[in-house]
Amino acid sequence: KQLAVGVVFGGRSGEHEISLRSAATILSALDPEKYHVIPIGITRSGVWVAGPAATEMLSLGGQVGGIESPSPARILASLSSVLGELDVVIPVLHGTYGEDGTIQGLFEMMDIPYVGCGVLASAAGMDKIVMKQLFRQAGLPVVEFRWFTSHAWTTEGDALQSDILRQLGLPVFVKPANLGSSVGITRVDDPADFAAAVALAAQYDRRIIVEKGYDVREIEVSVLGNDQPEASVPGEIISGAAFYDYADKYSPDSQSQLVIPAPLAPEQIEDVRRLAVRAFQAIDGAGLARVDFFLLRQTNTLMVNEINTMPGFTRISMYPKLWEASGWSLPAVLDRLIELAFARHAEKS
């Protein structure tokens, strides 16, 4: 019997469009002999759609608006109309309401097996403040950072700014605590630009993180597994911009390049793969994640930048490419992820 696999995409996130692109790659790689694949879209306003409406969402690439402010009852009704007889779900959602534990909680409540990290790992991995605190506690090297709420910023912004810049120096990277694809992130080189960077980040989250900016090489590793996670070969990103921002990641005329495997010394390759597994375990990861590293040019030392519990799966994305270079095709990775989802579900029930 074929397994009914729901592939969920879109969602209420600043990474809505990237999710559509990731889902398109996954839909085309799931083996139709093994799986009965059901595309399921979530509009920007949170309404669930299946069938032709979901296909239309994919082909329009983020243009579908949906109703402005659906009521909770409307969202619930849309959800129950699309989540019929599914054996397993792949939530191909990046950022808020998808990669942050919220949808994982929904699947837990409904007792549906799902691919990837559970509630805790998703929430911890999405929040750059909590993530970095957990990494630090696990003894992993992390960048120097400070954080504050947008409330604190409105009441004592001037004092915060001078205190933080005195501690971290320049440049700094100002980021919303929860998001991805570099959305809402600014590199600040001049104190005069700090307030605007905070205002931008505050559009996406009520908590803001400010990190010391380093001169870095960027290394990424894919992780796959539950209790015995495995790390792929590392890859390197040569950014074509001032930093690896949204346009550099996804625009068709981006100058960025992926170098796979990353040209590193053999010991450094082992270090980075070990650190990737430890980062995955520090948040209690399951299924998959991509761990992003900085290799500081000055000291040639590694730091864990962040973990992404639902990394990009677009045609140009690092996660599937690193496994391909490690001998795992995308269909094989997806088979494995589905097995891991069932294994985790069986463990809990």
Are residues 116 and 91 in contact, defined by beta-carbon separation less than 8 angstroms?
A: yes
Are residues 250 and 317 in contact, defined by beta-carbon separation less than 8 angstroms?
A: no
Toward Mg ion, which CB reaches closer, 66 or 285? 285
Selected from 186, 225, 292, 309, the binder of Mg ion by CB under 5 A is 292
Question: Is residue 180 within the footprint of Mg ion (CB under 5 A)?
Answer: yes
Selected from 9, 148, 214, 313, the binder of ligand ATP by CB under 6 A is 214
Collapsing DSSP to helix, strand or coil, 274 comes out as helix
- Residue 110: name the closest of 76, 145, 137 by CA: 76
Question: Is residue 308 within the footprint of Mg ion (CB under 5 A)?
Answer: yes
Consecutive H or E run containing 199: helix 194-202
Cross-strand pairs, 296: 216, 301
Residue 226 to residues 115, 193, 256, Cα–Cα distance (Å) = 11, 43, 32
Pick the piece of the chain touching Mg ion (CB under 5 A) from 82-90, 302-310, 315-323, 329-337: 302-310
239-278 binders of ligand ATP (CB under 6 A): 239, 243-244
Question: Is residue 92 within the footprint of ligand ATP (CB under 6 A)?
Answer: no
Consecutive H or E run containing 154: helix 150-168
Question: Is residue 182 within the footprint of ligand ATP (CB under 6 A)?
Answer: yes
Structure tokens at 10: 């879109």
CB of 95 to ligand ATP, least distance (A): 8
Rounded CA separation 75/91 (Å): 17
Residue 182 interacts with, from Mg ion, ligand ATP, none (CB under 5-8 Å by kind): ligand ATP
Map residues 215-234 to x or -, x wherever contact with ligand ATP holds by CB under 6 A.
-x-x----------------
Question: Which residue, judged by CB position, is nearest to ligand ATP in the bound state?
Answer: 180
Residue 27 interacts with, from ligand ATP, Mg ion, none (CB under 5-8 Å by kind): none
CB of 140 to ligand ATP, least distance (A): 15
- Residue 142 has what DSSP assignment? B
Structure tokens at 236: 């390197």
Cis peptide before 331 (omega within 30 of 0): no
Sites of contact with ligand ATP (CB under 6 A): 143, 173, 179-182, 185, 211-214, 216, 218, 239, 243-244, 292, 305-306, 308
Sites of contact with Mg ion (CB under 5 A): 180, 292, 306, 308
